[in-house]
Structure 1
């Protein structure tokens, strides 16, 4: 728990998510077999143990609602939406807590689950 709190505090201080890019490979901190790859053509590919699980179209925005949930909007908020390719009704939304050149922190809208990633 202490590590997570330090991590979130660090991202809060360093966060410049409007200026940093999601493009690249992000490894989940809790499970190194889980990785998300964001490409420059707007796709996010989710892998587990190097096996492709799903492909999504991703977008970043600062609007409400997100996945039918009302969310706060101000100059410091940003949201990531993933829409599964071929399934328009299958979408996932995350608040971007922070992003740097090396770290990514997301909170899933609706569940509050915290996802922490390291850039590879």
Structure 2
């Protein structure tokens, strides 16, 4: 269960990493305003966003809630994949998400579909 907590947090706040990569999303302005002075990497911006969750804009909070809701489907669709493919990966610092992305060709079709839906959500499509 602990791995799923990490994956959920990483996935839901994955919108933060997309902001770092220059993608447009509901949290880009909040990230810049609240965490612009934080050096990216090792989850520091994600932590900053979590620490400032009460200060997030309504749009960013809504996006986060939408992603949390979607995560239930991801958890269901990807549980076996995570255990089978990334079960030996130590959770934390984005290692689980990285493992899933590096092994995307090995993921079940259901898991791939849920992850693609999440990707589109983070980009605001």
TM-score (norm 2): 0.25
Q: Which has the higher helix share?
A: 2
Q: Which has the higher contact order (CA 8 A, sep 6+)?
A: 2
TM-score scaled to structure 1, two decimals? Answer: 0.26
1 or 2, which has the higher strand percentage? Answer: 1
